[in-house]
Amino acid sequence: MPHSSGPSASSPSCAMVDLFGRRVTYLRLSVTDRCDLRCVYCMAEDMTFLPRDQVLSIEELDLLAAAFIAAGVTKLRITGGEPLVRKGVMDLFAGLSRHLAAGRLKELTLTTNGTLLARHAEGLARAGVKRVNVSLDTLDAARFRTITRRGSLGVVMDGIRAALEAGLKVKLNAVALAGVTPDEVFDLIDFAHGHGMDLTFIETMPLGDVGVDRIDQYYPLDALRRLIETRLTLTDTTEGTGGPARYARVAETGWRLGFITPMSHSFCESCNRVRVSATGMLHTCLGQEDAFDLKTPLRAGTDGAALRATIAAAIRAKPRGHDFVIARNGTPALARHMSALGG
């Protein structure tokens, strides 16, 4: 595991402000495309994953993260696939913790499906992780099995319990699904807030081939919020965690609900995030098809100048916004004319 600060540690930082004045401080870094679940809104049941030689090594992921941190990123979220299935991922967390100790990084966190959280919760806490996001769309064991096509609700619950016992702050993420979320929304709120966890609802996004029609899954969060407000009192707040969620505090519980609405409300004007895939492709907007290859300059074996230049060029090219459209066949359609108009 490398313990230098990366290829850009001693050089001027990259320009992390885009042409629209947005400062990019948040990197979501995927360490694998693999997952041990096959959630119906995320993956097709029969997946073909990337050959391992196409995926960045743990050492390369560490160097890439260091380059972004030197350029001005202060929040780093490790994602997947399911990040905890990646061999060596805990070594990556241990190495990245040096940036927390040095004050270069304000937060190191991850999003997980929770299946391996019980095994790794204490190690994550030792590495300086303070909070994790856990995906949990239902509290019904049979429905959980159907949604994930193979998962066990009990295993995820054990993971959540272990994370809380390790001192990690847990936020639950629930994808809003027609025929599921309206039936369970109050149970989910009771469970989350009853255990001291915020809960964020997420609209389904038309990304990837999942083998089903997305229009049948989609449930707008405007409708969900109206349902919640038939029983609970919500007050909007400007509080945030650096991500795209808009939060409201529930008067009856004192805890928060988050709403991430890429379909019904654009949050592009305040976007401070970029994503890097496990293959080293930098995506500055999920709603656009443009991507920048970081793997080639990363592996060039130079002083890192090419990598820094590519990152800076990508930030300058970050688009104003996205516009998702769910087509009837479930495939993504990008209304680029809307994006050109600022949508």
When mean pLDDT is compared over 3-12, 130-139, 292-301, the highest value belongs to: 130-139
Q: Which residue reads 């600060």 in tokens?
A: 5
Residue 307 has pLDDT above 50, yes or no: yes
Which residue numbers belong to the known binding site for [4Fe-4S] cluster?
35, 39, 42, 268, 271, 285
Record the pTM: 0.85
Q: Give the pLDDT of residue 4.
A: 46
**Helix and strand element counts for the chain (H, E):** 11, 14
Please, where are the H alpha helices in the chain?
A: 58-71, 89-101, 117-126, 141-148, 153-165, 181-194, 214-217, 221-228, 295-298, 305-316, 336-340
First-to-final CA distance of the chain: 43
Distance CA 204, CA 324 (A): 10
Q: DSSP secondary-structure letter at 268?
A: G
The CATH number of 26-340 is: 3.20.20.70
Residue set of the binding site for GTP: 28, 77, 111, 171, 273-275
Q: From residue 223, how far is each of 93, 137, 228 by CA, in Å? A: 39, 17, 9
Mean pLDDT, residues 304-330 taken together: 75
The annotated binding site for S-adenosyl-L-methionine is made up of 41, 81, 135, 205
Binding-site annotation, residues: 28, 35, 39, 41-42, 77, 81, 111, 135, 171, 205, 268, 271, 273-275, 285
Nearest Cα to Cα of residue 132 among 164, 169, 96, 84: 169
pLDDT interval class at 239 (50, 70, 90): confident
pLDDT tens profile 13-66: 446 888 888 899 999 999 999 999 999 988 888 888 889 889 999 999 999 999
The backbone region for 263, taken as left when phi is positive above 0, alpha when psi lies in -120 to 50, beta otherwise, is alpha
Residue 141's pLDDT band, with cuts at 50, 70 and 90, is very high
Alpha helices in 40-88 (DSSP H): 58-71
